[in-house]
Amino acid sequence: MKPTIVLVGRPNVGKSTLFNRLTRTRDALVADQPGLTRDRHYGIGRVGDRDYLVVDTAGFDPVAKDGIMHEMARQAEQAIAEADVLLFLVDGRAGRTPHDEQIAARLRRSGRPVHLVVNKAEGLERSLASADFHALGFGAPLPVSAAHGDGIKQLIDLVLAPFPLDDDPQSSEDSGPAVAIVGRPNVGKSTLVNTLIGEERVIAFDLPGTTRDAIAIPFERGGKNYTLIDTAGLRRRGRVFEAVEKFSVIKTLQAIQEANVAVLVLDASQDISDQDAHIAGFVLEAGRALVVAINKWDAVDDYQRDQLKQEITRKLGFLSFARFHQISALRSDGVGGLLKSVDAAYAAAMSNLSTPQLTRIMQAAIAKQAPPRHGTSRPKLRYAHQGGMNPPIIVIHGNSLENLPTSYVRYLERAFMEAFKLQGTPLRIQFRTAHNPYATKA
């Protein structure tokens, strides 16, 4: 499972700046998707070859006692409890403050590994930047500049060293696709799990070795095998599964990462909320295959159904690659169809795309619409091959590819999606230019 890094520190020390820096590479992958707004507090990131989740507790002031500040404090507490690593940020320019000391005392009680990070350290002498902060009692402070990017790679290498490198989810023919059922609180996730995999369909499963591991529950339906990925504390209580822990964004993100296919559950009786859109955005960022279940369809009238359809188009337009199903988990309506789409999305995500075919489709797309000129030159696309699965990655080689506008990249994406019928999975295109073999754009 990918480690979760949680950023804590008093206001203005640079937590959001560090969060943005740590999630920037992933940002680029999903930039310019119409309608997609990113969650400013939870993200997926990669530095070097390390993938991780990162949580910014910005605005979650752990010392506040009531009101909105209290709710934010509650979220910060939850994030601290679920962290694999805490980064305690302080301001190298402002020096140590009483507020830093309060936070230090709180973090010491958390029992989680804490690294003290001195931000805004650019241009400061290393010893000067650190001396004052030793007294906080977290060992040698690590100087960084979130704004300039200094010391970030070293920081990540150091704090993630104890965690094994984690591959993307693997599936075998025996266990079938790994499926995560995700959605905000109360949309009917537990009900859907029970409808899908009611007692008789569950194959024996082991509880995880450590609390960090996700639980994988194998089940069989319609003669096919699936594995349900659950990190949200789903436990068997007698005949049914029940969520024993409260909703957790971190655990939702972890489940998405561990799965081949995410089923996003929406509640037809409620408006589409930012939280729905954010969870959908994570699926896209993680590159997972996706099926959307509009649940509680039984509980809404025609007018509400119409309204909901419009809202989905408006707020979740960036999910046009996915299939939507109207279901009632409670009445077990539409669940078979949902699973068929899970199978199809999984197959699309795992497609083998042959080099000659990819190159042919690319050339046909270029013949129909050439890439726009950039200055005096025109980007030249030479050939394409597959660079990965789940999501399918298409690597295009050529010249001046860094000058391709995003709109043209989207055009190519659509051409590949249509030609290979890749419904249900996002697709990534990476570019390798002769001058700069590592430039990527998506």
Burial 312-334 (b: 16+ CB within 10 A, else e): beebbebbebbbbbbbbbbeebb
Residue 191 contacts ligand GTP per CB under 6 A: yes
Residue length of the chain: 442
Beta sheet of 428-433, edge-to-edge order: 380-388, 393-399, 428-433
Q: Shortest approach of ligand GTP to residue 210 CB, angstroms? A: 23
Nearer to ligand GTP, 78 or 119 (CB): 119
- The secondary element (H helix, E strand) that includes residue 360 is helix 355-368
CA–CA separation, 199 vs 176, rounded Å? 19
Strands 178-182 and 114-119: unpaired
Beta strand ranges found along 296-435 (DSSP E): 323-326, 380-388, 393-399, 428-433
Residue 135 contacts ligand GTP per CB under 6 A: no
Residue 299 contacts ligand GTP per CB under 6 A: yes
Nearer to ligand GTP, 293 or 342 (CB): 293
DSSP state of 220: E
Q: Could you tell me if 417 and 321 are in contact, meaning their C-beta atoms sit under 8 angstroms apart?
A: yes
Nearer to ligand GTP, 189 or 428 (CB): 189
Nearer to ligand GTP, 115 or 397 (CB): 115
Q: Shortest approach of ligand GTP to residue 299 CB, angstroms? A: 4
Nearer to ligand GTP, 110 or 270 (CB): 270
CA–CA separation, 135 vs 80, rounded Å? 22
SS3 42: strand
Whose structure tokens read 């993938």? 51
Nearer to ligand GTP, 11 or 238 (CB): 11
Which phi and psi (to 5°) does residue 254 adopt? -65, -40
Nearer to ligand GTP, 168 or 298 (CB): 298
CA–CA separation, 26 vs 281, rounded Å? 11
Angle, helices 274-286 vs 249-258, to 10°: value is 30
- The secondary element (H helix, E strand) that includes residue 345 is helix 335-349
Residue 16 contacts ligand GTP per CB under 6 A: yes
- 340 marked ligand binding residue: no
Angle, vertex CA 156, rays to CA 150 and CA 160, nearest 5:
165
In the set 3, 14, 62, 426, which binds ligand GTP (CB under 6 A)? 14
In the set 298, 311, 343, 402, which binds ligand GTP (CB under 6 A)? 298
Q: Which stretch binds ligand GTP (CB under 6 A): 22-30, 250-258, 324-332, 344-352?
A: 324-332
Q: Shortest approach of ligand GTP to residue 226 CB, angstroms? A: 18
DSSP state of 93: T
Structure token pair of residue 131: 């001396």
In the set 12, 154, 406, 436, which binds ligand GTP (CB under 6 A)? 12
List the x/- string, 362-401, binding to ligand GTP by CB under 6 A.
----------------------------------------
In the set 147, 202, 216, 415, which binds ligand GTP (CB under 6 A)? 147
388 has which bridge partners? 393
Nearer to ligand GTP, 43 or 188 (CB): 188
In the set 75, 110, 190, 357, which binds ligand GTP (CB under 6 A)? 190
CB atoms within 10 A of CB 367: 8
By CB under 6 A, the residues from 104 to 133 that bind ligand GTP are: 119-120, 122
Which phi and psi (to 5°) does residue 19 adopt? -55, -45
Residue 255 contacts ligand GTP per CB under 6 A: no
In the set 55, 90, 187, 228, which binds ligand GTP (CB under 6 A)? 187
SS3 293: strand
List the x/- string, 38-67, binding to ligand GTP by CB under 6 A.
--------------------xx--------
In the set 69, 124, 243, 389, which binds ligand GTP (CB under 6 A)? 243
- 188 marked ligand binding residue: yes
CA–CA separation, 391 vs 147, rounded Å? 31
Contacting residues toward ligand GTP, per CB under 6 A:
9, 11-17, 58-59, 119-120, 122, 145-148, 183, 185-191, 243, 247, 295-296, 298-299, 328-330
Residue ranges of the binding site: 9-16, 56-60, 119-122, 183-190, 230-234, 295-298
Residue ranges of the binding site for GTP: 9-16, 56-60, 119-122, 183-190, 230-234, 295-298
